[in-house]
């Protein structure tokens, strides 16, 4: 048994179609535009974001969000995950008519419930949405800087990478960094290596969401290895969104061999027909990872986690202990 950890999953994107249908029944909403035969339907990044926004709009109360984080973390714990960082989006809460405070309290309640039931540890990474522009991302950063929560430990940016330049968001990221939050940013998924280089220069993250298209520039790959910038890789998502044609073409193993820290993540699991277990299976099947290498990937994730040192050490200890027992 390989213990797992996840650093890159959007909590709204983790809502199963069954849970979304349950919320739709509660609110008398019609989901037939984006759920068919129990599956989310979309055909490109833009329609994926639309389906994602429509599903998110059905989470409207603190309890809806407690259900969501509890449901996801319980499913992760069943997959032998011991740690999870989920991206949250105060923009989605506001769009659904919920205050950011109630949103975060609800998510935290679900996280506490899942921890009490299974021991799974988790944190939230607040995000701004790039396609909403610099002012909206600044608002998201300011909210989280002015309203610290013990379970919110990072700040990032998701959304459409093809819009705006990372420099446009530098001030927002400075606000988040000054508040002591860990910094990650989506780059090098829909756009090429320059997007990763620009994000590194402008926003100074310790991790990049995806980042895989750094492979297009060997100097950049060396920079990632030298500076030990971690890439939160999501191979199943990349294939679903056709960033790469198939798993054998995915750069994960080449990046790992070049010394870039890489981890495995599910991104938006039901949208991309994946989960964390499947991502570890993909790495075993297509990237040549044996159980020891997979455990090392979990260790890499824990070492790069946005978490206090005491909790981090106890998670690393758990990984070491479980490994010794199974060896
Ligand atoms: N938001 C949710 N999933 C995303 C992805 N794969 N890329 C960018 N933004 C996202
Ligand atoms: Zn993502």
Angle between helices 193-203 and 218-227 in degrees, nearest 10: 40
Range of the domain at 226: 4-326
Residues 173-227: tens digit of each pLDDT: 999 999 999 999 999 999 999 999 999 999 999 999 999 999 999 999 999 999 9
pLDDT in tens, 268-304: 999 999 999 999 999 999 999 999 999 999 999 999 9
> Which residue's C-alpha comes closest to atom 6 of ligand 1?
267
Characterize 201-234 residue by residue with b for buried, 16 or more Cβ atoms within 10 angstroms of its Cβ, and e for exposed.
ebbebebbbbbbbbbeeeebbebbeeeebbbbbb
What is the token pair recorded at 229? 């910038």
What CATH number corresponds to the domain at position 106? Answer: 3.20.20.140
Mean pLDDT computed over every residue of the chain: 97
| 87-121 exposure pattern, b = at least 16 Cβ within 10 A, e = fewer | bbbbbbbbebebebebbbebbbbbbbbbeeeeebb
Domain count, the chain: 1
159 CA distance to ligand 1 middle (Å): 5
Q: Which ligand is nearest the CA of 48, by number?
A: 1
Q: How far apart (Å, rounded) are the C-alpha atoms in residues 321 and 135?
A: 46
Entry pTM: 0.97
Q: Is 189 one of the catalytic residues? A: yes
At which residue do the structure tokens 């610290």 appear? 148
| Ligand with minimal distance to 14 CA | 1
Q: What is the pLDDT of residue 237?
A: 98
Confidence of residue 323 (pLDDT cuts 50, 70, 90): low
What is the pLDDT at residue 327? 41
């Amino acid at each position: 048994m390989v213990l797992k950890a996840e650093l890159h999953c959007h909590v709204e994107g983790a809502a199963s179609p069954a849970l979304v249908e349950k919320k739709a029944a509660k609110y008398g909403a019609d989901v037939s535009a984006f759920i068919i035969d129990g599956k989310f339907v979309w055909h490109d990044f833009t329609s994926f974001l639309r389906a994602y926004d429509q599903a998110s709009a059905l989470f409207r109360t603190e309890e809806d969000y407690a259900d969501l984080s509890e449901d996801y973390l319980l499913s992760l714990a069943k997959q032998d995950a011991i740690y999870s960082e989920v991206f949250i989006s105060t923009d989605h809460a506001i769009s659904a008519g919920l205050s950011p405070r109630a949103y975060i309290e609800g998510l935290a309640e679900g996280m506490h419930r899942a921890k009490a039931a299974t021991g799974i540890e988790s944190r939230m990474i607040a995000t701004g949405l790039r396609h909403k522009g610099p002012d909206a991302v600044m608002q998201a950063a300011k909210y989280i800087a002015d309203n610290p929560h013990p379970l919110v430990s990072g700040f990032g940016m998701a959304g459409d990478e093809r819009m705006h330049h990372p420099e446009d968001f530098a001030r927002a990221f400075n606000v988040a960094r000054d508040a002591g939050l860990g910094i990650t940013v989506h780059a090098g998924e829909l756009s090429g290596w320059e997007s990763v280089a620009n994000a590194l220069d402008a926003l100074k993250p310790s991790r990049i969401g995806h980042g895989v298209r750094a492979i297009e520039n060997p100097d950049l790959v060396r920079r990632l290895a030298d500076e030990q910038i971690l890439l939160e890789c999501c191979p199943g998502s990349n294939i679903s969104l056709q960033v790469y044609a198939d798993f054998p073409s995915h750069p994960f193993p080449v990046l790992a061999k070049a010394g870039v820290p890489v981890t495995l993540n599910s991104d938006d699991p039901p949208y991309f027909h994946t989960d964390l277990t499947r991502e570890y299976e993909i790495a075993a099947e297509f990237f040549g990872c044996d159980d020891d290498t997979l455990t090392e990937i979990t260790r890499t994730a824990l070492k790069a986690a946005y978490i206090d040192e005491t909790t981090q050490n106890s998670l690393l200890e758990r990984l070491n202990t479980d490994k010794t027992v199974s060896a």
